[in-house]
Amino acid sequence: MSPEVPFIILVLAIPTYFICLWVMKKLKVGTDRNMKWLALIPTIIFSPVIYIGLIFIWILSISYYPEHDFDQVEWSSNIEERYTMSEDIIESKMLIGKTHEQIIEILGTDYSSNNENRITYELGHVPGLFNIDPDYLDIKLENGIVVRVNQNEG
């Protein structure tokens, strides 16, 4: 645990303590004399829970990215944000049954191919925790016809 974590939890504990004290006064829990000590119990429990909740919200916020319908102009002009359209391409199955030439007409010529049965387009870096490699749209062909399209991490 880094040295900042106890400090952050302590900073969260201060307002949490006063909120717990206020709630206990409203609910008339305990006496005026022991209420201050009783407020420490929920403070000790809730402060780490709030800290973990804030971390969870932060992780969700950096992992979110908008999704857009496929736009051929946007696809060609903005390689770093192609990932926003990849789900539409995959779920709509717009490439299934197309030939290699038709794929190039739709998605462009900036692809890589290890063999005649696979075409790969770079999608850019999908937002996420520890995501340092770009994702790829992987298109599998059989007998020159697309049979599967999926997204792979780099």
Region 88-101 average pLDDT: 93
The proportion of the chain whose per-residue pLDDT surpasses 90, expressed as a percent, equals 38
End-to-end CA distance of the chain: 30
Find residue 99's DSSP bridge partners. 145
Kindly tell me the sign of the dihedral angle through the C-alpha atoms of 44, 50, 51, 52. positive
Clarify whether residues 110 and 51 are in a common domain. no
Clarify whether residues 96 and 43 are in a common domain. no
Clarify whether residues 45 and 105 are in a common domain. no
CB atoms within 10 A of CB 108: 13
Clarify whether residues 94 and 149 are in a common domain. yes
Clarify whether residues 139 and 93 are in a common domain. yes
pTM, 2 dp:
0.63
Which domain does 115 fall in, by range? Answer: 72-153
Clarify whether residues 138 and 97 are in a common domain. yes
> Which of 63, 91, 113 is the endpoint of a domain?
63
* Residue whose pair of structure tokens reads 């006064």 in the numeric block: 25
**What pLDDT shows up at residue 12?**
84
Overall domain count for the chain: 2
Q: Which of 41-55, 58-72, 120-134 has the highest mean pLDDT?
A: 41-55
More confident residue, 58 or 19: 19
Clarify whether residues 149 and 103 are in a common domain. yes
Spatial distance between the Cα atoms of 38 and 23, rounded to a whole number of angstroms:
11
> Which of 20, 44, 63 is the endpoint of a domain?
63
